[in-house]
């Protein structure tokens, strides 16, 4: 068997680096550790995509650029969205005896070995860049959810559909009618979802919206206005556009930036991170350790995470143990001074069935972390950057959301798996 070429030999063979570059990368590796390929990227000698392509050549694997529509949905359904995101691996094709999985690196095979044992299939690897894999995961599982909804035969109420759109933080949603058929649609991170509406939607819209849509559109084929949608005690300002012809009509709603003051104060993460957090929230696995740089930033931003990352319609509670200024800006509860009573207080909150809990407590995290996670299905626990994260992992948290303050007040956000 021919000896496998090193990544340096491969890249030199294609003229991407020379001997001097190799020496420079080796020196970087001695000073900083890690793999030689990572040193090449760290020195700026190759791009991450070039390194992944070189690794594919080194291990004789295909370097792929698949799109979501080309991926076998049955293969992708063999793993959960959380597993795919945490391992940056996605099954893309299945045969009777094998499963093709795209990964970011052929070196760490822990996830692939687990999948091989669980499925009893031969695993064939393909490589893609981490950014491409993350984007595919978001698209594939969003597509799967949309397909499930499309197969649902029973019409739903306008209130239920509106709750889905607002809960997903949709930037636009609407109502389409053609003849006797009416559909509600909404934009969920680039994926258009649809659900059939029951016959009472027009009367329900009159109750939920102001001013009266019926009066605004009466006798018109095109009209715009600014209004408000009220649901479950929450009011959402919206811009409304209306079109009509002989076959039916269209309503388009665009929520207005009612959180502009909050967004001016805290710059939000890139859409990709928001989409992944919402994907995890819908899958029931949204439990996060929150670390910040500096640590003081965490006390300021934590109670606002539901609005920044999810939607104001999600019922949230902010739990703290000291006189935090931010407690006046969010629905909050202060814990007793004696930490021994915190677990009991947290357990009592389970009966309220909150959608989101943000927790700013100190001390022995292992004594209260599990109880805090029981308060809501989505949880953000503030964690000092230098504190041991094992209690969080033991409690069932699998994600780290890190927020760093940069020059000019901009926030840099990152989302990574939490390892034991």
Fold of 155-255: Beta-Lactamase (3.30.450)
Q: Where in the chain is the domain with CATH 3.30.300.160?
A: 68-145
- Cα–Cα distances (Å) from 75 to 22, 97, 219, 360, in that order, read 40, 12, 51, 40
| The pLDDT of residue 193 | 80
Cβ contact 380:356 at 8 Å: yes
Q: Name the 3-class secondary structure at 394.
A: helix
**Domain 260-417, classified CATH 3.40.1130, yes or no:** no
User: Is 244 exposed, middle or buried (CB count within 10 Å of its CB: 0-12, 13-18, 19+)?
Assistant: middle
> What CA–CA distance (Å, rounded) separates 6 from 3?
9
Task: Report the topology of domain 68-145.
Answer: GMP Synthetase; Chain A, domain 3 (3.30.300)
267: left (phi over 0), alpha (psi -120 to 50) or beta: beta
Q: What is the pLDDT of residue 104?
A: 82
Is residue 216 classed exposed, middle or buried when 0-12, 13-18 and 19+ CB atoms within 10 A define those classes?
Answer: middle
Residue tagged 């109670």 (tokens): 303
Both structure tokens of 283: 């899958």
Q: What is the pLDDT of residue 64?
A: 67
Q: How far apart are CA 283 and CA 304, in angstroms?
A: 22
CATH 3.30.450.90 residue ranges for the chain: 155-255
Query: Tens-digit pLDDT profile for the chain (420 aa)?
Result: 356 677 777 778 767 788 888 889 888 888 888 778 788 888 888 877 777 777 766 666 666 667 777 788 888 888 888 888 888 889 988 888 888 888 887 777 788 888 888 888 888 888 887 888 888 888 888 765 544 544 555 788 998 888 888 777 788 899 999 888 899 998 876 667 888 999 899 999 999 999 999 999 999 999 999 999 987 667 788 999 999 988 899 999 998 765 457 777 888 888 788 888 888 887 777 899 999 999 989 989 999 998 888 866 678 899 988 766 665 667 888 888 888 888 888 888 888 888 899 999 877 777 888 888 888 989 999 998 888 888 888 888 989 999 999 987 899 999 999 886
Residue 205: closest CA among 238, 259, 158: 158
Among the listed residues 317, 357, 358, 314, the one whose alpha carbon sits nearest the alpha carbon of residue 167 = 314
For residue 100, the surrounding DSSP H or E stretch is: strand 98-103
Torsion region of 353: left, alpha or beta (phi above 0 gives left; psi -120 to 50 gives alpha): left
Cα distances (Å, whole numbers) of residue 125 to 94, 102, 241 = 12, 6, 48
Coil, helix or strand at residue 263 = helix
Rounded to 5°, angle at Cα 138 from 133 and 144:
120
Domain ranges in the chain with CATH number 3.40.50 = 260-417
CA dihedral 240, 259, 335, 322 (to 10 degrees): -170
């Amino acid at each position: 068997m021919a000896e496998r070429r090193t990544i340096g030999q491969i890249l030199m063979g294609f003229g991407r680096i020379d001997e001097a570059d190799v020496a420079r990368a080796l020196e970087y590796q001695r000073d900083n550790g890690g793999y030689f390929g990572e040193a090449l990227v760290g020195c700026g000698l190759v791009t991450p995509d070039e390194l992944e392509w070189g690794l594919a050549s080194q291990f004789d694997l295909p370097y792929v650029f698949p799109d979501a529509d080309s991926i076998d949905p049955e293969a992708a359904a063999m793993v959960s969205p959380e597993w795919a995101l945490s391992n940056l691996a996605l099954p893309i094709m299945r045969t009777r005896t094998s499963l093709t999985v795209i990964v970011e690196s052929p070196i760490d095979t822990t996830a692939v070995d687990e999948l091989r044992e669980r499925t009893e299939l031969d695993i064939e690897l393909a490589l893609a860049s981490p950014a491409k894999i993350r984007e595919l995961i978001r698209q594939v599982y969003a597509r799967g959810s949309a397909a499930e909804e499309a197969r649902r035969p029973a019409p739903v109420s306008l209130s239920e559909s509106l709750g889905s759109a607002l809960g997903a933080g949709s930037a636009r949603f609407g109502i389409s009618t053609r003849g006797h058929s009416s559909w509600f649609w909404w934009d969920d991170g680039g994926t258009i979802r649809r659900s059939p509406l029951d016959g009472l939607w027009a009367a329900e819209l009159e109750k939920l919206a102001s001013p009266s849509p019926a009066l605004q559109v009466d006798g018109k084929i095109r009209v715009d206005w600014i209004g408000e949608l009220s649901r479950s005690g929450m009011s959402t300002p919206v811009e409304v556009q209306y079109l009509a012809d002989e076959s039916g009509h269209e309503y388009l709603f665009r929520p207005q930036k009612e959180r502009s003051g909050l967004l001016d104060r805290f710059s939000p993460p890139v859409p990709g991170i928001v989409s992944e957090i919402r994907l995890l929230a819908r899958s029931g696995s949204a439990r996060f350790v929150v670390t910040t740089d500096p640590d003081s930033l965490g006390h300021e931003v934590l109670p606002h995470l539901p609005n920044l990352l999810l939607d104001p319609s999600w019922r949230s509670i902010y739990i703290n143990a000291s006189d935090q200024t931010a407690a006046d800006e969010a629905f909050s509860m202060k814990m007793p001074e004696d930490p021994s009573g915190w677990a009991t207080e947290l357990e009592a909150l389970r009966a309220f069935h909150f959608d989101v809990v943000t927790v700013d407590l100190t001390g022995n995290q292992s004594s209260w972390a599990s109880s805090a996670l029981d308060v809501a299905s989505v949880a953000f626990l503030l964690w000092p950057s230098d504190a041991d994260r094992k209690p969080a992992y033991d409690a069932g948290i699998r994600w780290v959301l890190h927020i760093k303050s940069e020059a000019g007040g901009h926030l840099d956000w990152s989302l990574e798996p939490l390892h034991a």
